[in-house]
Amino acid sequence: MALSPILRSEWTKIRTVASTRWTLATVLAVTAAMGAGLCALVDATWDQLPAVERATFDATQMSFSGMMLGQLAVLVFGAMVVGTEYSSGMIRTSLAAVPRRGTLLLGKVAVATGLALVVGLATGFVSFFLGQALLGDHSVGLDGENVLRAVTGVGLYLALLTAFAIGIAMMLRNSAASVCILIAFILILPMVLGVVDATRKVAYYLPNSAGSAIMQTVPAGPDVPYGPWGGLGIMALWALAAVAGGLLVLKKRDA
C-alpha cells in the first residue's frame, strides 16, 4: 500500500481530535510564556546574580526555560496519537485498512513528528524573540554564535521527543500509563540521577539531558562527554529504539 494515503489518514485523525490540537498549541503557549517571564525576572535581578552565573549566562537557552512544561505537552501529544486509537478501538479499523503494521506505524510517526517539528520551530523562534526582548541589555541576536542552531534545535528536539513518546505508547497501548512512564523517565529521572555524583554521568545519556544540548550556545561543562549535535544524536538513538520497540509489540500482539 502506498504511503501517501496513510499519511493523509493519520493527518485527518490528528486534526479532527480537538485534544491533540490544543496539546500542540499548549506547547508553544506555555514555553513562550514561561520563558518570557523568567527572562524578565533575570533582567530585573541581574545585579543580584553571582558573578560566575553572569559569566556563563546563556541568553538563548534562557528563552527556552519554559521547555520543562512545553515538553510535557509534547509527551502527552505523542502518547495520545497512539493511545486514543487503542482506547476507542479505532486501531482495529486502522489495522484492517493497513495490514502492514510497520507501514502504519511509519505513517503515524511521520505525521506526528512532522507536526511537532513545525510547532517546535514556531516555539523556538517565538520564545527566542520574546525572551530576548525582555532580557534588555543581556540579550543576543539571531546572528550570534550558535544561536540559530539552538533556536532551530527546539524543533528537532520536540520532533524526536514525539517519536520517543509514540514508541513508548505503542508498547504500552494506554495513554495514561504512557504519560506517567514518560514523565518519570524524561523529567524526573534525570533530576534524581543528576544530584548524585555517582550517577550524574548516567543522567547525561538520558534523552532529556542529551537532546537539550542542541538548545545551548554556552558549553555545558568539561564533564559532559558530547557537544550539541552529539547529544541530539544520542536522543535520536533513544527515539529509534522506542519506535523499534513499539513496532515489535505492534507486530506481536493483537489489537
pLDDT of 92-113, one tens digit each?
A: 878 777 778 888 889 899 999 9
pTM listed for this prediction: 0.93
Residue 206 lies in domain: 3-14+67-124+142-252
What integer pLDDT is reported at residue 76 of this predicted model? 94
User: Which of 22-26, 77-81, 208-212, 249-253 is the least confident region?
Assistant: 249-253
Task: Assess if residue 47 is contained within a domain.
Answer: no
pLDDT of 213-255, one tens digit each?
A: 999 998 777 788 899 999 999 999 999 999 999 999 988 876 5
Task: Assess if residue 59 is contained within a domain.
Answer: no
Q: What percent of the chain has pLDDT over 90?
A: 60
Domain count, the chain: 1
Q: What is the mean pLDDT of residues 39-62?
A: 89
Task: Assess if residue 233 is contained within a domain.
Answer: yes
Query: What does the mean pLDDT of the chain come to?
Result: 90
Q: Which of 44-48, 168-172, 190-194, 250-254 has the highest mean pLDDT?
A: 168-172
What integer pLDDT is reported at residue 120 of this predicted model? 96
Task: Assess if residue 43 is contained within a domain.
Answer: no
CA atoms in the 13 A half-sphere facing the CB of 85: 26
Task: Assess if residue 108 is contained within a domain.
Answer: yes
Q: CB neighbours of 129 closer than 8 A, spacing ≥ 6?
A: none
Cβ-in-10-Å burial (0-12, 13-18, 19+) of 242 comes to: buried
Q: What is the mean pLDDT of residues 124-132?
A: 96
Task: Assess if residue 110 is contained within a domain.
Answer: yes
What integer pLDDT is reported at residue 17 of this predicted model? 77
